[in-house]
Amino acid sequence: MSLDLKPYVILISGQGSNMAALLDSKLPGQCVAVISNRPDATGLALAKARGIHTVVIDHRRFATREAFDLALMTEIDGYTPRLVFLAGFMRILSSTFVTHFYTRMVNIHPSLLPAFPGLKTHASALAANAKTHGCTVHFVTPAVDGGPIIAQAKVPVLPEDTESTLAHRVLAAEHLLYPRVARWLLTEQVTLTEGQVNYEKSLTLEAADLIVTN
């Protein structure tokens, strides 16, 4: 690995479309591993096709959440990554794990946090008659979907929308937003200090405002 490329790890549980968006965006870093908690995650094949080292740590083989988290933590630490990107990683991580990677681990969530944390965000947005929906990239803290927000992308909710059509529009926004934020983080234009997200002056307006997509 080139010394000027910061290593990063991606965690997935499923198809890995956000992982693919990160890998295909020519980030100023090097993905040293894609790790999944599910051996049947289709994103593993996508990563292998791009020449990325893949690892499976099946959470079902561990008696406790803490035991799984320790195994995952140990695996990640072996790559000494600058950043850990959660890309559809469907596990609630323990406080010990999150604290270990604090300031270095980020997630993308399919809603405009703090609205609609957790699952079924698109159904929740429709039920609430929301006019706008979108996605959020945030630092990970022990509070699920409650970490400091880095940036968001907003999409309109159309009168004829179903969960499926809205999810498709939000996912397209995710694929634009996540690589952009990953680039900021890898170049240290965005950092986290004492719970506060800090932006380089050149990024302040771009990062602080919602990124609007069609």
Same domain for 159 and 64: no
Torsion region of 83: left, alpha or beta (phi above 0 gives left; psi -120 to 50 gives alpha): beta
Same domain for 208 and 117: yes
Q: What is the pLDDT along the chain (214 residues), one digit of tens a residue?
A: 444 789 999 999 999 999 999 999 999 999 999 999 999 999 999 999 999 999 999 999 999 999 999 999 999 999 999 999 999 999 999 999 999 999 999 999 999 999 999 999 999 999 999 999 999 999 999 998 999 999 999 999 999 999 999 999 999 999 999 999 999 999 999 999 999 999 987 775 455 455 655 4
The DSSP code for 9 is: E
Smallest CA-to-CA distance from 18 within 97, 105, 107, 103 is with: 107
Question: What pLDDT score was predicted for residue 2?
Answer: 45
Same domain for 172 and 84: no
Structure tokens, 141:
């803290």
Same domain for 125 and 85: no
Same domain for 117 and 92: no
Question: What pLDDT score was predicted for residue 1?
Answer: 44
125 lies in some domain: yes
> How many domains does the chain divide into?
2
Helix (H) or strand (E) holding 184: helix 163-186
The DSSP code for 62 is: -
Q: Under a CB-based contact definition with an 8 Å cutoff, are residues 99 and 142 in contact?
A: yes
Same domain for 186 and 88: no
- Which residues make Cβ contacts (< 8 Å) with residue 99, sequence separation at least 6? 142
Same domain for 97 and 34: yes
Question: What pLDDT score was predicted for residue 209?
Answer: 53
d(CA 140, CA 103): 8
Smallest CA-to-CA distance from 182 within 64, 51, 85 is with: 85
Question: What pLDDT score was predicted for residue 5?
Answer: 86
Same domain for 51 and 83: yes
Count the Cβ atoms, other than its own, within 10 Å of residue 169.
19
Same domain for 185 and 92: no
Catalytic residue list: 109
Same domain for 176 and 83: no
Q: Give the domain CATH number at 66.
A: 3.40.50.170
pTM for this prediction: 0.93
Q: Is the peptide bond before 156 cis (omega within 30 degrees of 0)?
A: no
Q: Under a CB-based contact definition with an 8 Å cutoff, are residues 38 and 107 in contact?
A: no
Collapsing DSSP states into helix, strand and coil, what is residue 141? Answer: coil
19 lies in some domain: yes
